[in-house]
Amino acid sequence: MARFAANLTFLFTELPMLERFGAARRAGFEGVEVLFPYDLAAPELASAAQAAGVEFVLMNTPPPNWAGGPRGFAAVPGGEERFRRDFDRALRFAQALRCRHIHVMAGRAEGEAARQTFVENLRWACARAPHASLLVEPINPGDMPGYFLADFDQAVEVIDEVGAPNLGLQFDAYHAHQITGDVLSCWDRHGARARHIQIAGAPGRHEPKAGEIDFAGFFRRVDALGYRGWVGAEYMPATTTEAGLRWLRDGSA
């Protein structure tokens, strides 16, 4: 069975960031994700993770300016210099945090020029950091209009075109549901490429429990495939984080 990581950007937000690591471990999580950790010093974050006994599993590019700002630059023609500068900063953070995966964000773009920009930037990043696990993630257009990578078939085609051993798929069950309407079939087609999974319920992007996604069936498929990676809990609690953690404690997801 996969291990669960708490996305600390979404969960335990009633606490300061450095206190969320311990709260996550006490709740039963063994790992953590932080989407954009750049507002704090990397040594402070690394110390908090180490003290709590959790692994730092995932972070995103780019830093920072997320609120109302661009959603990445990897597929944006003309943004190559900004992407490479941001990637190097993300890489320094990931190394300091001993972070397992870096999600490379494509940004808002469209067309063939955007695709070629994305492929070329990913090739550059994979060659620059051959020791790092880099991921791309399809994001549904309802949550992020205009985002370049909004289709799982497209994501796999890009991964194949880049052809780098350290590039893989980030499979978010919530986005898969929003994009395809059938998480299980989407997993059957593309799960073998997944190096990291994220979960949230639908509708609402709340706790992964009863709703439109068959999480029991999904995890049976995940186990059947032999997936041994992490599963990131990237959802917005319906009330408080603690009140909604029954799915983790009793395996009811």
Q: Where along the chain do its domains lie?
A: 3-249
**Residue matched to tokens 């709703």:** 211
CATH code of 3-249, in short, is 3.20.20.150
Kindly report whether the peptide bond that precedes residue 141 is cis, defined as omega within 30 degrees of 0.
Answer: no
CA distance 211 to 201: 7
Active-site pick, 33, 55, 207, 234: 234
Strand pairing of 31-33 and 101-103? unpaired
CB-based burial of residue 146 (10 Å sphere; 0-12 exposed, 13-18 middle, 19+ buried)? exposed
Task: Judge whether residue 55 has pLDDT over 90.
Answer: yes
Task: Please name the residue ranges forming H helices in the chain.
Answer: 17-27, 42-52, 80-97, 112-128, 152-162, 173-180, 183-190, 215-225, 246-249
CA distance 219 to 45: 31
Task: Tell me whether residue 80 is one of the annotated catalytic residues.
Answer: no
Please, which pLDDT band fits residue 64 given cuts at 50, 70 and 90? Answer: low
Active-site pick, 55, 137, 157, 212: 137
Task: Tell me whether residue 55 is one of the annotated catalytic residues.
Answer: no
Cβ-based neighbour number of residue 140 at 10 Å: 18
Choice between 152 and 209, residue whose per-residue pLDDT is larger: 152
- DSSP-based three-state secondary structure for 125: helix
pLDDT tens per residue across span 92-134: 999 999 999 999 999 999 999 999 999 999 999 999 999 999 9
